[in-house]
Amino acid sequence: MQYDVVVIGSGPGGYVAAIRSAQLGKKVAIIEKYSVLGGTCLNVGCIPSKALLDSSEHFYNAAHHFADHGIEIPAPVANLGKMIGRKNGVVEKMNAGINFLMKKNKITVHNGLGSFVDKNTIKVTKTDGSEETITTQQVIIATGSKPTILPFMNYDKKRIITSTEALSLTEIPKHLIVIGAGVIGAELGSVYARLGAKVSFVEFADSMIPTMDKTMGKELQKSVKKLGADFFFNTKVTKIENSGEEVTVTAEAADGKPVEIKGDYCLVCIGRRAYTDGLNLEAVGVATDRGKVVVDEHTLETNVKGIYAIGDVVRGAMLAHKAEEEGVFVAEVMAGQKPHINYNLIPGVVYTWPEVASVGATEEELKAKGVAYKAGSFPFKALGRATASGDTDGLVKVLADTATDEILGVHIIGARAADMIAEAVTAMEFRASAEDIARISHAHPTYMEALKEAALAATANRAIHS
Ligand code: FAD
Ligand code: NAI
């Protein structure tokens, strides 16, 4: 079988690259080692986690907030089996959607492990052990990432788990110990805390979501604390052990004090590593750096001509929409076009409640670079729409250049932040000033008014409602 383009991996990077290549007239195949398409994001990442976040949020609101709205119901019961079943249904529906897109774009799907024979030949090993060989002019490596887990963590997939198992638990933990209060910890910790689990976060850094603007982590901690969670910051885990139904986490605090926490489940979410196992990169000499495939910044081509790489397996944010942008980019480069990605403006979102969303520089980054900036903030509690709905936690922070007023960063924690950030991304793509946002009419009453007010606050401190 001879193709123009073969994509290895069917996550948001790979399947989008395949579709764009097909749109550009190429004969395309995609290789996926699992029986379903969609990669981490669809099967054990973005989509199933959001399905459980939504279900658990409905449960939490029914238990704690409906009465505030005058809706009186008996105490609701969480049926985790049904929630997981619904989540599986959502994933299956979207698996079918990707199958449809492959057919529509005449992309051939090969199920099996793809490995290089040479730069134009890929062997596909199917689950029954049979093999087929396909040839191609160009290859896109889109093999994604896997959870990082250290040997002393004794990962047993039953009690000591990663996000993959946490998305399919058969019972609500009594006490879930979460190692790493980053994005996965915050999201999946919230799911089980809302369903009634006691959740303890053990985090190496000094706050939740420590790579985002510091105000976000501080505010998020306040909200997650309301779910009954507790936090061990500046704490390094040294051992995790499971004895039957009890998990013991041993750690060391910054001052050297030993810490021991006992629970019934331990979720390890300390980051993810690029995944190239089984690809046989050695056969073609594709260079890697600390496990990541090295690519040319202007073309996403590896050191081997005709082999490209995208998504989590290369440098940069491990996000589905970043992988998708690179999927389109690489297909267009391979077709001789000159596309562009603005890596500074890839938004980051944490789907907790309230949501956290961010684009551009953090205050800490601007300080470190010595950039003169102005900051304007606006709290959700001063917003009519937020007060009406009862979602008053959070704030919007706009950072703008002191001299030019260009927006350098926007950080939002609050209801619907995930959708609100799009206005900031669009404005920043057009290099808008804070004054531009401040002068645009925003419908009333909406959450988006908080962005306008924060922009007003950033320009001569003239917010109207605070
Ligand atoms: P992947 O999605 O990892 O896909 C790679 C595919 O390649 C896999 O299907 C794998 O089986 C296949 N593969 C690997 N090796 C081979 C081989 N040799 N042969 C054949 N096939 C192979 N990002 C967001 O932007 N928003 C979110 O809300 C979000 N939520 C997340 C929640 C969780 C719990 C997790 C774990 C991740 C989340 N992410 C989220 C991150 C997102 O899932 C990844 O950034 C994204 O999936 C990366 O896409 P990719 O195409 O690079 O790789
Ligand atoms: P992360 O990098 O977001 O967080 C890991 C956290 O673990 C960090 O805060 C780090 O300080 C801490 N840590 C590292 N080693 C530790 C140790 N030994 N002991 C205690 N703490 C330790 O990684 P996470 O949460 O695993 O997620 C992986 C990636 O998946 C994210 O970086 C993100 O790219 C992607 N993702 C994106 C989501 C989204 O966009 N909403 C949702 C979930 C995942």
Say if 171 falls within a structural domain: yes
- Percent of the chain whose pLDDT exceeds 70: 100
Residue 210 CA, closest ligand 2 atom number: 9
What is the reported pLDDT for 50? 98
Task: Examine the domain organization and report whether 168 and 260 are in the same domain.
Answer: yes
Distance CA 385, CA 153 (A): 45
- Give the contacts of 102 (CB within 8 A, at least 6 positions apart): 15, 18, 30, 37, 109
What is the pLDDT confidence band of residue 367, given thresholds at 50, 70 and 90? very high
Task: Examine the domain organization and report whether 84 and 173 are in the same domain.
Answer: no
Ligand nearest to the CA of 164: 1
ipTM above 0.90, yes or no: yes
- Check pLDDT > 80 for residue 1: no
Out of 239, 270, 301, pick the residue that ends a domain: 270
**pLDDT tens string 65-98:** 999 999 999 999 999 999 999 999 999 999 999 9
Out of 324, 343, 362, pick the residue that ends a domain: 343
What is the reported pLDDT for 244? 85
Say if 210 falls within a structural domain: yes
Distance CA 411, CA 152 (A): 36
What is the reported pLDDT for 91? 98
Distance CA 166, CA 376 (A): 38
Distance CA 269, CA 109 (A): 32
Distance 22 CA to ligand 2 centre (A): 34
Say if 436 falls within a structural domain: yes
Distance 146 CA to ligand 1 centre (A): 8
Sign of the Cα torsion 200, 204, 209, 214 reads positive
**pLDDT tens string 119-145:** 999 999 999 999 999 999 999 999 999
Note if 69 is an active site residue: no
Decide: helix, strand or coil at residue 87.
helix
**pLDDT tens string 240-278:** 999 989 999 999 999 999 999 999 999 999 999 999 999
284 within ligand 2 shell (Cβ under 6 A): no
Distance 197 CA to ligand 2 centre (A): 21
**pLDDT tens string 295-318:** 999 999 999 999 999 999 999 999
Distance 241 CA to ligand 1 centre (A): 28
Task: Examine the domain organization and report whether 317 and 331 are in the same domain.
Answer: yes
Task: Examine the domain organization and report whether 42 and 122 are in the same domain.
Answer: yes
What is the reported pLDDT for 395? 98
Task: Examine the domain organization and report whether 135 and 40 are in the same domain.
Answer: yes
Say if 442 falls within a structural domain: yes
Task: Examine the domain organization and report whether 333 and 364 are in the same domain.
Answer: no
Task: Examine the domain organization and report whether 36 and 90 are in the same domain.
Answer: yes
What is the reported pLDDT for 92? 98
Substitution candidate for ligand 1 out of 43, 46, 132, 134 with most atoms within 8 A of CB: 46
Distance CA 219, CA 333 (A): 42
Please measure the distance between the N-terminal and C-terminal CA atoms of the chain and give it in whole angstroms: 66
312 within ligand 1 shell (Cβ under 6 A): yes
Residue 186 CA, closest ligand 2 atom number: 25
Task: Examine the domain organization and report whether 103 and 19 are in the same domain.
Answer: yes
What is the pLDDT confidence band of residue 370, given thresholds at 50, 70 and 90? very high
- 202's enclosing H/E stretch is strand 198-202
Task: Examine the domain organization and report whether 185 and 254 are in the same domain.
Answer: yes
Average predicted confidence (pLDDT) for the chain: 97
Rounded to the nearest 5 percent, the helix, strand and coil shares of the chain are 35, 25, 35
Task: Examine the domain organization and report whether 41 and 141 are in the same domain.
Answer: yes
**pLDDT tens string 385-407:** 999 999 999 999 999 999 999 99
**pLDDT tens string 19-31:** 999 999 999 999 9
Parallel, antiparallel or unpaired: strands 230-232 and 198-202: parallel
- Which residue range(s) make up the domain with 25? 2-147+273-343
What is the pLDDT confidence band of residue 284, given thresholds at 50, 70 and 90? very high
Decide: helix, strand or coil at residue 302.
coil
**Packing angle between helix 183-194 and helix 46-64, nearest 10 degrees?**
40
Protein residue with its CA nearest to atom 27 in ligand 1: 46
What is the reported pLDDT for 66? 97
Say if 349 falls within a structural domain: no
Distance 389 CA to ligand 1 centre (A): 35
Protein residue with its CA nearest to atom 15 in ligand 1: 143
Say if 225 falls within a structural domain: yes
Out of 219, 236, 270, pick the residue that ends a domain: 270
Protein residue with its CA nearest to atom 14 in ligand 1: 143
Task: Examine the domain organization and report whether 10 and 132 are in the same domain.
Answer: yes
Ligand nearest to the CA of 357: 2
Number of H helices, E strands in the chain: 13, 24
Domain count, the chain: 3
Distance 210 CA to ligand 2 centre (A): 9
Ligand nearest to the CA of 311: 1
Which one from 64, 69, 444, 465 is the annotated catalytic residue?
Answer: 444
For residue 158, count other CB atoms closer than 10 A to its CB.
11
CB burial class (10 A; 0-12, 13-18, 19+) of residue 443? exposed
**pLDDT tens string 329-339:** 999 999 999 99
Per the annotation, where are the binding residues?
Answer: 50, 114, 143-145, 180-187, 203, 271, 312, 318-321
Residue 66: DSSP 8-state? G
Distance CA 451, CA 457 (A): 10
Question: Residue 448 maps to which CATH number?
Answer: 3.30.390.30
Per the annotation, where are the binding residues for NAD(+)?
Answer: 180-187, 203, 271
Say if 348 falls within a structural domain: no
Spatial contact of 131 and 124, defined as CB atoms under 8 Å apart:
yes
Ligand nearest to the CA of 179: 2
Q: Write 421-428 long-range contacts (CB < 8 A, 24+).
A: 421/347, 421/349, 421/357, 421/358, 421/359, 422/347, 423/448, 423/451, 424/347, 424/359, 424/360, 424/398, 424/451, 425/345, 425/347, 425/359, 428/345, 428/359, 428/360
Substitution candidate for ligand 2 out of 50, 184, 349 with most atoms within 8 A of CB: 184
- Check pLDDT > 80 for residue 170: yes
Task: Examine the domain organization and report whether 65 and 205 are in the same domain.
Answer: no
